[in-house]
Chain A
Amino acid sequence: MTPLAVSALRKSYDNREVVAGLSFELRRGECYGLLGPNGAGKTTTLRCCLGLTAPDSGEITLAGEPVPARAREARARIGVVPQFDNLDPDFTAAENLIVYGRYFGMSDSAIRPLIPGLLEFAGLSGKEKANIRSLSGGMKRRLTLARALVNDPELLLLDEPTTGLDPQARHLIWERLKQLLAQGKTILLTTHFMDEAERLCQRLAIIDGGRMVGEGPPRELIRQHIEPQVVEVYGEDAPGWAQREAGNFSRRVETSGETAFCYVEDASPLLAHLAELPGLRTLHRPANLEDVFLKLTGRELRD
Chain B
Amino acid sequence: MATLAIPRLSLRAFAVWRRNFLVWKKLAIPSMLGNLADPMIYLFGLGYGLGGMLPQVGGVPYIAFLAAGTVCASTMNAASFEALYSAFSRMHVQRTWEAIMNAPVTLEDVLAGELLWAAAKATLSGAAILVVIWALGFIASPLALWALPVIFLTGLAFAALGLIVTALAPSYDFFMYYFTLFITPMVLVCGVFFPADQLPGVVQAVAAWLPLTHAVALVRPLLFGEIPAGIALHVGALVIIAAAAFWLASVLIRRRLLK
A residues neighboring B (CB under 8 Å):
13, 50, 52-54, 68, 72-73, 75-76, 80, 82, 84, 86-91, 95, 99-100, 102-105, 151
Contacts and interface: CB of A to CB of B under 8 A. Distances in A.
Contact of B15 (A52, A82, A102): A102
Given A99-B19, A102-B15, A104-B104, A88 B259 contact: no
B23 interface: yes
A88 B99 contact: yes
A95 B22 contact: yes
A54 B1 CA distance: 7
A13 B105 contact: no
Given A75-B102, A105-B12, A84 B258 contact: no
Contact of B12 (A52, A84, A103): A103
Contacts of B102: 50, 75, 80, 82
A12 to B, nearest CB: 11
Give the residue among B15, B16, B26 with the most A Cβ atoms within 10 A.
B15
Interface string B246-258: 0000000000011
Contacts of B96: 86, 88
Given A52-B101, A103-B15, A105-B12, 5 more contacts: A52-B258, A53-B258, A88-B94, A102-B15, A102-B18
Contacts of A91: 22-23
B104 A105 contact: yes
Nearest to B3: A54
B104 A75 contact: yes
Contacts, number: 66
Given A84-B95, A86-B94, A88-B96, A100 B23 contact: no
B99 A82 contact: yes
Nearest to A80: B102
Interface in B200-226: none
Contacts of B258: 52-54
Q: On chain B, which size bracket covers the interface?
A: 20 to 34
7 closest A-B pairs by CB? A103-B103, A80-B102, A86-B95, A76-B104, A86-B99, A102-B15, A54-B1
A145 B209 CA distance: 50
Contacts of A75: 102-104
Nearest to A89: B94
Contacts of B18: 99, 102
Nearest to A50: B102
Contact of B103 (A54, A68, A88, A104): A104
A142 to B, nearest CB: 16
Contacts of B26: 90
B1 A68 contact: yes
Nearest to B16: A103
B104 to A, nearest CB: 4
Nearest to A81: B102
A151 to B, nearest CB: 8
17 contacts: A13-B259, A50-B102, A54-B258, A68-B1, A72-B106, A75-B103, A76-B104, A80-B102, A82-B99, A82-B102, A86-B98, A88-B23, A88-B94, A88-B99, A91-B23, A95-B22, A103-B16
B104 A73 contact: yes
Contacts of B103: 75-76, 100, 103-104, 151
Contacts of A54: 1, 258
Contacts of A76: 103-104
Contacts of B22: 91, 95, 99
A38 to B, nearest CB: 18
Contacts of A99: 15, 18-19, 22
Contacts of A87: 99
B40 interface: no
B100 interface: yes
A45 to B, nearest CB: 14
Interface string B107-142: 000000000000000000000000000000000000
Nearest to B27: A90
Give the residue among B12, B15, B23, B99 with the most A Cβ atoms within 10 A.
B99
Contacts of A80: 102
Interface string B18-51: 1100110010000000000000000000000000
Given A53-B258, A72-B106, A100 B99 contact: yes
B96 to A, nearest CB: 6
A99 B21 CA distance: 11
Nearest to B15: A102
